[in-house]
Amino acid sequence: MIRRFQTRARQFATTLLKERLDPGRAAAAVFLGIFIGIVPIYGFQTLVAVGLALLFRLNKPLTLASTFINNPLLQPLIVVSSVELGWFLRSGSFRPFTLSALAGAHMKEELLAWVTGSVALGILAGGVGAAITAVVIHLHLKATANPGLRDRVRCVNQMFVRCARADRGFVRWKLRLDRVFGLLAAENQGSGTVVDLGCGYGMALGFAAFGDGSRRLVGCDLDAHRIAVAREALSTLNADLSVADVRYFELPPAGLIFVLDVLQYLPAEEQLALLKRCCSTLAPQGRLIFRVHDRERGLWSIITMAFDRLIFACGRAGVRPLMLPAAEYRSVLENAGMQVEERRFRNRLPLAHILFIAKKPLAEAAP
């Protein structure tokens, strides 16, 4: 009897916690809870939060938990911020806050400023909390919806567990934010040697080695620090990593070649020459996968190029990023006899990209 009750109670709690947890409704629940927690209706916050959650069919535990932003540690800061924000909205300027003002001759004005400011502060803080919640729920749903990606990400993160904290953190957030890894996880990784030109920390190599630790991994990059980190992370695999320029790196026969976020550093003729060299090196049925900016997405393309220029300036690359039209990349691949597919996508940052997947067909039998 007791065991049956415990089982039903556990099922009920699980259902209650997971109810209506899509990104939009979860964000609405957090916004409502934070707003109610900040607005000065002390003594009624729990009742109002649960009532509105029932009315709007939101996640009740999440709404109620969000009201706890008004706790003994944060309450003084919330009150002071509300009063100051209220004075700013009413008079256009801040004024020094004193407790005596709440009991003085101008108590009515102070209370009105408090209420006005708390509403504005609740909207601002609730909006921030809702945005963070929507992103977190979205990332969680994406990870659970693609178990292959989730397993690969966990495996790659485990490779870097002994690296320095800053490097480990960069890898973790790169895997979370960059949608290219989801696309790579969905692609056939083929067989044979994997080459990554401009490999950085070697994350793409780690993805390709998932499930086959004996696969030969070859990579190069100009950043000596990242190559050192990659060597440490991939030390248990059959990896050969070098500090070298992709333009002069000797390519071994390969079944899979990555060129991710590299071409924009090269002049047009060197970009096309590198792609031709990769195509000639691939074994039959081998794949060349590379990413470029999408120049045909309007505002998103402008933002993408501006972001890349900022990265180049911060890294003191000494050149401006150069992206060719997608048709030029497709033309050089088709002229090399490759079967070409394009995957247009937008990253979680507002960056527009194209992932080219070029497959080398089997050689035709001689007559």
Ranges of residues in the chain with a pLDDT under 50 are: 5, 9, 11-17, 364-367
Per-residue pLDDT, 96: 67
Per-residue pLDDT, 17: 44
Residue type, 236: T
Per-residue pLDDT, 46: 87
Per-residue pLDDT, 353: 92
Contacts of 366 (CB under 8 A, 6+ apart): none
Go through the domains of the chain in sequence order and give each one's CATH number. Answer: 2-145 (no CATH), 173-359 (3.40.50.150)
Per-residue pLDDT, 309: 86
Per-residue pLDDT, 367: 39
Distance of alpha carbon 208 from its chain centroid, rounded?
Answer: 20
Per-residue pLDDT, 112: 85
Return d(Cα 338, Cα 275) in angstroms, integer: 11
The H or E element spanning position 312 is helix 299-314
pTM of the model: 0.63
Return d(Cα 138, Cα 333) in angstroms, integer: 36
Per-residue pLDDT, 146: 63
- Cβ neighbour number for residue 248 with a 10 Å cutoff: 7
Per-residue pLDDT, 332: 95
Return d(Cα 117, Cα 131) in angstroms, integer: 21
Per-residue pLDDT, 10: 53
